[in-house]
């Protein structure tokens, strides 16, 4: 069956390799140019943290447009692999009837599916891994400059997560094809299912992969950023340590101007609130009503909290997320295996 898989996918494999080579050419050439420009900039302008958008030391100027477009585009690579490789695996053969040829040879359907799926999942992982490695290489300076590698377009295109996505998308295509037996509906289900699961995990699961860290700071100085972090939320904590609910028509306090209800403030500070609400930008030398309110609350024991994921968790998160997708993929292969074995051809 290994030879058969190879024979059937020789041409698609060659096309995939050619596309991969073209992608590598773009990312490597622009990436190398960008890296050298970046190092030059670092040598003349110093710390990377000061390089966003200030004239001669604007780090953004070194980012190659084409390479950046490719990086953004690479977010769709796992889905493309799933659609082209996974969905037709069983469905196309069922549609054209060739399953009636292969399934009546001397091997079982299980073996047919598991060998074919195994090789194609491996191919999907290798392709996505290669693309991801190239993007990770290319993004070095951008990562250093922006420091928000948890955000979607960065996290989702680098490291090992894309490998998990591609294996999952392929397995989803295989399972959808095995159940629906037609390629086009299988492709539609693959696209919808992949997008749905990805969005769900990005929004609802990823922030909680590890318990978030909450740090409490004074109202005046604001939160200190501990390295590269993934900021999740911030809030105001009352004198007794309870978090205050933020309300839409509340009074903005603290560095971030978080709106808390007037009733939550002690009476002494409440008196300062109307002035703070109506205050425009503080005039030079004049007393600042917002600062006065903040200082009053700070004295009354109000604190600001910030909830975030520390930067060092980037790689653990990559690993956990890839692991989740690999588990989902394994479950989907089991579904496909069950469907192929149980249902009539």
Do residues 329 and 167 touch, judged by C-beta distance below 8 A? yes
Contacts of 39 (CB under 8 A, 6+ apart): none
Residue with tokens 């943290």: 49
Minimum Å gap between C-beta 183 and another protein is 15
Number of CB atoms found within 10 A of residue 213's CB: 14
* Of residues 181 and 198, the one with the C-beta less far from another protein: 181
* Of residues 93 and 156, the one with the C-beta less far from another protein: 93
> CA–CA separation, 334 vs 2, rounded Å?
20
By the criterion CB under 8 A, which residues form the site for another protein? 1-4, 7-8, 96-110, 341-342, 344-345
* Of residues 4 and 232, the one with the C-beta less far from another protein: 4
* Of residues 10 and 299, the one with the C-beta less far from another protein: 10
Minimum Å gap between C-beta 112 and another protein is 8
Indicate left, alpha or beta for 301 from its phi (over 0: left) and psi (-120 to 50: alpha).
left
Minimum Å gap between C-beta 307 and another protein is 53
Minimum Å gap between C-beta 4 and another protein is 5
* Of residues 107 and 210, the one with the C-beta less far from another protein: 107
Minimum Å gap between C-beta 180 and another protein is 16
């Amino acid at each position: 069956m290994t030879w058969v898989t190879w024979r059937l996918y020789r041409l698609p494999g060659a096309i995939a390799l050619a596309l991969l080579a073209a992608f590598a050419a773009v990312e490597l050439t622009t990436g190398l140019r960008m890296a050298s420009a970046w190092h030059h900039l670092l040598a003349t302008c110093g710390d990377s943290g000061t390089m966003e958008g200030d004239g001669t030391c604007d780090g953004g100027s070194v980012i190659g447009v084409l390479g950046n477009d490719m990086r953004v585009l690479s977010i769709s690579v796992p889905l493309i692999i799933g659609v082209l490789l996974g969905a037709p695996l069983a469905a196309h053969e069922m549609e054209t009837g060739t399953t009636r040829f292969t399934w009546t040879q001397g091997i079982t359907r299980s073996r047919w599916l598991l060998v074919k799926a195994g090789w194609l999942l491996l191919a999907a992982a290798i392709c996505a891994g290669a693309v991801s490695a190239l993007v990770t290489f290319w993004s070095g300076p951008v990562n250093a400059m922006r420091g928000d590698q948890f955000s979607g377009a960065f996290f989702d295109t680098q490291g090992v997560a894309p490998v998990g996505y591609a294996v999952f998308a392929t397995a989803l295509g295989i399972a959808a094809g095995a159940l629906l037996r037609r390629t086009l509906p299988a492709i539609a289900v693959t696209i919808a299912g992949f997008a749905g699961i990805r969005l769900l995990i990005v929004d609802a699961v990823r922030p909680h992969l590890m318990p978030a860290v909450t740090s409490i700071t004074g109202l005046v100085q604001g939160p200190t950023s501990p390295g590269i972090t993934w900021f999740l939320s911030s809030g105001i904590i009352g004198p007794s340590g309870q978090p205050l609910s933020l309300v839409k028509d509340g009074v903005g306090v603290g560095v971030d101007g978080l709106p808390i209800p007037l009733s939550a403030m002690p009476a002494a500070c409440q008196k300062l609130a109307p002035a703070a609400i109506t205050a425009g930008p503080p005039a030079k030398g004049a007393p600042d009503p917002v600062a006065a309110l903040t200082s009053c609350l700070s004295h009354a024991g109000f604190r600001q909290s910030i909830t975030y994921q520390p930067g060092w968790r980037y790689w653990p998160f990559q690993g956990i997320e890839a692991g989740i997708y690999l588990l989902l993929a394994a479950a989907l292969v089991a579904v496909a295996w069950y469907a192929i074995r149980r249902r009539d051809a």
